[in-house]
A and B are shown apart, each in its own frame.
Chain A
Amino acid sequence: AQSVTQLDSQVPVFEEAPVELRCNYSSSVSVYLFWYVQYPNQGLQLLLKYLSGSTLVESINGFEAEFNKSQTSFHLRKPSVHISDTAEYFCAVTPSGGYNKLIFGAGTRLAVHP
């Protein structure tokens, strides 16, 4: 079975500051990893995913995440945040190679202040 731990329930940060949202996972098999963002009263949107290959993955809006197998982590980072980045961020894992259910972390609320 897999599990995901998001270490911070809330992360307050000022606009244009860097941010890191932490995600650790546990699994006995190889996994695929995802970060999703949820704005209020909306569904989830994929930010980025790691399936294989380069361990550093990037999104089109400036976020990046690095898969670290030895530390079983997939932390999300952005060098300079905007007010519009305020949202809930979820890390998720699924066993690699199939189309199985996603296991979600508890979520991290990113609050960007002016």
Chain B
Amino acid sequence: GAVVSQHPSRVICKSGTSVKIECRSLDFQATTMFWYRQFPKQSLMLMATSNEGSKATYEQGVEKDKFLINHASLTLSTLTVTSAHPEDSSFYICSAWDRGGYEQYFGPGTRLTVT
């Protein structure tokens, strides 16, 4: 099946710094990707929908200036957490539709820890 990768898998950063997370569709093109946040023992919370070549659509309550999303190509979307704080520590997961098989594939996730 299709594969979605994320990099890095784990990152530790200091409070006040910015962190970039990459999401790639490895064997299919993804005009739309999704970014989720997951707290321990909780469900996935959709943060934003990333659209290739246009602005991302953010869910209500998600700060656009804090979580910058760029979808510059059909295989790459990036999420940048700006001026990170400890409360931003979480598991971030991306996904993309493989339109051929009508299945949404998920990346393995990125564990962000802000100290």
Contacts and interface: CB of A to CB of B under 8 A. Distances in A.
B97 A43 contact: no
A106 B49 contact: no
Contacts of B41: 109
Interface in A85-114: 90, 99, 101-102, 104-107, 109
Nearest to B41: A109
Interface residues of A, number: 20
Contacts of B93: 43-44
A43 B42 contact: no
Contacts of A49: 102-103
Interface in B1-55: 4, 6, 32, 34, 41-44, 46, 49
Given A44-B93, A49-B103, A101-B34, A90 B43 contact: yes
B13 to A, nearest CB: 19
Contact of A43 (B32, B49, B109): B109
Contact of B32 (A41, A46, A90, A99): A99
A45 interface: yes
B106 A104 contact: no
Interface of B: 4, 6, 32, 34, 41-44, 46, 49, 91, 93, 95, 97, 99, 102-109, 111
Interface of A: 32, 34, 36, 41-46, 49, 51, 90, 99, 101-102, 104-107, 109
